[in-house]
């Protein structure tokens, strides 16, 4: 996909809090200083209210409250919290970047360093300094990230590597992080990032596998129009022009007001009846080549099939107790097309198979 779509992905993934900024300056409720022990000071109250406003996406309110806290009036721990908030809600531009850099310099052991690093990396990405963004995010690694910040950082790191020009490296990095992202709130943006890296690396089949996750699990999600359009591009790359055209028509039919629908129209494609060979989204046929009570055996077979160049390999866990793990391959509009793959695998690898609904 184009660099524009990748940039849109980063903006949607990373800069969403900026869109929620309020435009009105609030009238500050009076916060009285009390001399009784254990009671918060006026500045403590302002900081607490600023943190609450920030958490609710009201950056303008948080900025207003923070401006009323004199420098040096807070203890070290509270001063760190205030410094991070000032950096996070600073106006877009050099001031925002400088505030984040200053926070990271002044608080080398700060509790909000991960968040500040992610924010600064986002800025570097948007500025086009992809190498700097990737370097900043090198502190985040697959297999260890357990929170939203870490998961967003992994996706952004993969996108920075992709934008820097290393599509193959970005694809491998993102694939290695599937365990961190699958099933999380960041799953949709993650699989779209995987698809873009796969397409740029010349791996159209792998791109389709990632896109199918989005179209199956997030059919009305933020990335659905982009994912469906990317599916058409993937099919086109594989030489399946008729199937690609039918998927493009689905984009125009299902998401007529989207940017992707406009791109479909620019291709000269108009919504209409699809041909009999339409690529099945959420339908069609596959072949089942194995069913196991042990997941590791099913995963081994799926891995062997992928290494043999078989496309759209999936592992389906049944609802039985104990569950059966079924290995399936292919994605076809007709039973005859699926049967052709099964016969090839039977001749070449000795597999038995059955045609099943996808």
At 333, list the tokens. 């509009």
Integer Cα distance of 30 and 259 in angstroms:
48
Q: What is the pLDDT of residues 223-260, one digit of tens each?
A: 999 999 999 999 999 888 888 888 998 898 888 999 99
pLDDT bracket for residue 340 (50, 70, 90):
confident
At 161, list the tokens. 């590597």
Q: For residues 138 and 157, is the Cβ–Cβ distance under 8 A?
A: yes
- Give the predicted TM-score (pTM) of the model: 0.67
Please state, rounded to an integer, the average pLDDT across all residues of the chain: 84
15 or 107, higher pLDDT: 107
Q: Is the pLDDT of residue 283 over 60?
A: no
What is the pLDDT, as a whole number, of residue 260? 93
Q: In degrees rounded to 5, what are phi and psi of residue 147? A: -130, 175
* 160 CB-contact burial (10 Å; exposed 0-12 / middle 13-18 / buried 19+): buried
Percent over 70 (pLDDT), the chain: 85
Q: What is the pLDDT of residues 73-93, one digit of tens each?
A: 899 889 999 999 999 999 888
Q: Is the pLDDT of residue 103 over 70?
A: yes
At 190, list the tokens. 């993650």
Give the E-state strand segments of the chain in sequence order.
Answer: 285-292, 314-317, 325-332, 354-357
Q: In degrees rounded to 5, what are phi and psi of residue 40? A: -70, 150
pLDDT bracket for residue 281 (50, 70, 90):
low
What is the pLDDT, as a whole number, of residue 16? 41
């Amino acid at each position: 996909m184009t660099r524009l779509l990748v940039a849109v992905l980063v903006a949607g993934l990373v800069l969403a809090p900026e869109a929620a900024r309020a435009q009105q300056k609030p009238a500050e409720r009076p916060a009285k200083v009390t001399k009784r022990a254990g009671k918060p000071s006026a500045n403590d109250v302002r900081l607490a209210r600023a943190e609450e406003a920030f958490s609710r996406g009201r950056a303008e309110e948080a900025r207003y409250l923070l401006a009323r806290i004199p420098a040096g009036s807070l203890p070290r721990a509270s001063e760190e919290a205030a410094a991070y908030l000032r950096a996070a809600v600073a106006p877009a531009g050099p001031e925002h970047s400088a505030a984040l850099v200053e926070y990271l310099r002044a608080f080398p052991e700060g509790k909000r360093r991960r968040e500040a690093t992610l924010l600064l990396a986002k800025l570097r990405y948007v500025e086009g300094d992809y190498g700097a963004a990737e370097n900043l995010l090198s502190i985040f690694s697959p297999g260890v990230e357990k929170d939203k910040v870490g998961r967003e950082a992994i996706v952004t790191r993969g996108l920075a590597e992709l934008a820097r020009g290393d599509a193959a490296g970005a694809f491998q990095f993102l694939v290695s992080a599937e365990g961190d992202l699958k099933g999380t709130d960041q799953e949709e943006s993650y699989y779209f990032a995987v698809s873009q890296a796969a397409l740029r690396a010349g791996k159209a089949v792998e791109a389709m596998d990632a896109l199918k996750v989005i179209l199956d699990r997030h059919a009305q999600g933020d990335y659905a129009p982009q994912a469906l359009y990317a599916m058409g591009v993937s099919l086109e790359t594989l030489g399946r022009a008729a199937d690609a055209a039918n998927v493009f028509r689905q984009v125009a039919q299902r998401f007529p007001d989207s940017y992707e629908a406009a791109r479909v129209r620019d291709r000269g494609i108009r919504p209409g009846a699809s041909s009999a060979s339409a690529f099945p989204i959420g339908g069609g046929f596959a072949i089942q080549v194995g069913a196991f009570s042990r997941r590791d055996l099913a995963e081994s077979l799926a891995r062997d099939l992928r290494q043999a160049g078989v496309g759209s390999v999936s592992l389906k866990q049944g609802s039985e107790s104990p569950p059966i793990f079924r290995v399936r391959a292919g994605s076809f509009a007709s039973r005859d097309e699926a049967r052709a793959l099964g016969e090839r695998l039977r001749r070449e690898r000795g597999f038995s198979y059955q045609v099943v609904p996808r």
